Chains A and B, each alone.
Chain A
Amino acid sequence: MFWNKEMETLRGRDLEELQLKRLKWTISQAEKVPFFQNKLRAEGLSADDIHTPDDIRKLPFTYKTDLREGYPFGFFAVPRRDIVRIHTTSGTTGKPTVVGYTRNDLAAWADLIARNLTMVGLTPEDTFQNAVNYGLFTGGLGFHYGAELVGMMVIPSATGNTKRQIEMINDFGVTSIHCTPGYALHITEVVEQMGTSLPSLRIGVFGAEAWSETMRQELESRLSIRAYDSYGMSEMFGPGVAFECTEQNGLHIWEDCFLSEIIDPKTGENLGPGEKGELVITSLSKEAMPLLRYRTGDITMILEDDCPCGRGRRIARIMGRSDDMLVIRGINVFPSQIEHLLLGIPEVGDQYMVYVDRKNHLDEMTIDVEMNRQTFSGELDGLVGIQTMISRKLHDALSLRTTVRLVEPGSLPRFEGKAKRVVDRRGDL
């Protein structure tokens, strides 16, 4: 099933012409942003230098750290009055990255989500439970409006209270659920513990964190559903950038809206189909916040053969990160954010280690930090207070619950050269 057959199946010359036209428009849109204006001027480049979509390679990259510098509204290419919504995503230090949307952006985003949901067989006959955070995280409102556009009955259940989520699925006859894969497994376990089942449920849409084929098999067999991978990032609207079709063999990246490249993250050189590297995306239709050659940090490759479904380019499921970003319960966390925060707390030293585990299928982050001998009061209460205070500050900054353990001064490893402060102990499942 297609939502927008013309755009979903656009190929060859027609696609190239559309991409070229939209790329030139995007560059002129980007020139309204001082950051891009300066960069393009420095390289002596303008939209006139672009003759084919491949000419994108002439342009410099844009990094997540660049977006941080623009906090809060420095990357908006339209007047403030044309922005109708913002979302935020965690940045590499204390400040988040703000992304903005015009009315057209929101419509385009909802259209992409509608394509994705229709592609896996969802129709107005379906009931859709959106079990993700509804706040500044793009996954909530993004899927909400796309699912409504399809015409499904949408239940904005958000997160938490798993038993209530399960009750709603059964009471409302929910046929499709969207959540993080980790939360889906948690729901599965609670369903099994309750000795119940979810007979109405047939499709699961899972995203915001990387998950494996083993996990897919687990979810599909235990919930008797088909499970689909959803990919996106706030910088490119949010979820909906690429999505699996019913073949479950790679994610279709919407080529009328996103120009994708795979590069060697070290050299920046372009790689061909079948070669693993970092995904770089240029937006082709974003009005409020056009982005040129945005380094996603996600490692994947372009799949070589054509998909039987008739749609265009596919990327492989995300294989990892080219930087040290962690995705914990769907939330992006950079170790530098933690470092930044700890440096502002005199009661602890600047040495720390981050451990990530999966307990009951949910990600848990533990931070070991050295206490500071100068500020040691000798009392236990003070130490417990420091631990609680750090946990609270981390929660404020990352929206994540973390366990903080104070350790003895000098007990954490010191690194020469590149520090390895993150130990990710999550396995495949």
Chain B
Amino acid sequence: MQGEYIIKQISIFSENKPGRLAAIAEALEKSHVNIFAFSIAEANSFGVVRALVDKPDDARSVLEKLGFAVQFTDVIAVRMKDEPGGLHAVAQILGDAGINIEYAYAYSGKEAAVLILRVSQAGEAISKIQAAGGSLLRESDLG
């Protein structure tokens, strides 16, 4: 099953001004949502905060209640060796398969480093990674 490797990323629209990230983080703290990884993408006056969290539905509802525009985005997570060449190995698989990475960010997990990827064809990326011996995470494996 490829579907089990699709992970829900939470994407939050935010204006590019002081205090916005603090407001998001405070809301997540108050609802006891743990953030595994996050990144910010910005375009002149605004940005999108992207996060992988332990309770995406709770996170979404609390942020929406505060007025934020929130959307789930499908991403995949790949285990990397936390040593030189770890990123290269994963990126090589996708490059060889002709799969373009729209954006990516990473975190250092408990067992291994994790690369979060947003690609246009997630299904194809999953099969190529698996075929090349790569290891993908399920939502329950995060953390």
Contact = CB atoms under 8 A, between A and B. Distances in A.
Q: Do A and B come from one complex?
A: yes
Contacts of A372: 69
A378 B46 contact: no
Contact residues on A (Cβ < 8 Å of other chain), bracket = 10 to 19
Contact of A380 (B9, B48, B70, B72): B48
A380 B73 CA distance: 12
A383 B15 contact: no
B69 A371 contact: yes
Interface stretch (A77-85, A150-158, A246-254, A400-408): A400-408
A371 B13 CA distance: 9
Interface in B1-39: 9, 11, 13-15, 20
A408 B45 contact: no
19 contacts: A373-B68, A373-B70, A376-B11, A376-B69, A378-B71, A378-B72, A378-B73, A379-B11, A379-B48, A380-B43, A380-B48, A383-B13, A405-B44, A405-B45, A406-B45, A407-B15, A408-B15, A408-B67, A408-B69
Interface in B47-64: 47-48, 64
The bracket for how many chain B residues form the interface is 20 to 34
Interface string B79-122: 00000000000000000000000100000000000000000000
Say what secondary structure dominates the interface of chain B. Answer: strand
A160 interface: no
Given A378-B48, A408-B15, A411-B15, A384 B69 contact: no
A377 B45 contact: no
A352 to B, nearest CB: 14
Interface string A368-388: 000111001111100110010
Contacts of A408: 13-15, 20, 67-69
Nearest to B10: A378
A88 B4 CA distance: 61
A346 interface: no
Those 5 A-B pairs whose CB atoms lie nearest each other, nearest first: A378-B71, A378-B11, A373-B69, A405-B45, A378-B73
Nearest to B42: A380
A409 interface: yes
A390 to B, nearest CB: 13
A274 interface: no
Contacts of A410: 67
A380 B47 contact: yes
